[in-house]
């Protein structure tokens, strides 16, 4: 939709997911890097096939909320 209106996009949140997206679309401008996600990721773009997103579930447990 942004491309139809001649607008560029700069997605953020999951850099490893959005990097291939921005490289594949004509209106991709940049990808925001969020260093605070580094502690909970085990690998980054280029380390694996597919999307390259692998969460460190042990480290994520510290943010778990009991409902």
HSE at residue 55, side-chain half, CA atoms within 13 A, is 7
- What is the predicted pLDDT for the residue at 5? 94
**Which whole number is the average pLDDT over 4-11?**
91
- In the chain, % helix, strand, coil (3-state, to 5) comes to 40, 10, 50
Delimit the domains of the chain by residue range.
3-63
Of the pLDDT bands very low, low, confident and very high (cuts 50, 70, 90), residue 12 is confident
What's residue 32's pLDDT? Answer: 82
More confident residue, 62 or 19: 62
Question: For residue 21, is pLDDT > 90?
Answer: no
Q: For 42-58, what is each residue's pLDDT tens digit?
A: 766 555 555 656 778 88
């Amino acid at each position: 939709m942004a491309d139809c209106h001649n607008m560029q996009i700069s997605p953020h949140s999951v850099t490893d997911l959005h990097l291939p997206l921005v490289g594949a679309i004509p209106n991709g401008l940049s990808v925001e890097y969020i260093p605070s996600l580094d502690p909970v990721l085990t690998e980054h773009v280029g380390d694996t096939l597919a999307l390259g997103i692998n969460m460190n579930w042990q480290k994520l447990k510290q943010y778990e909320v009991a409902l």
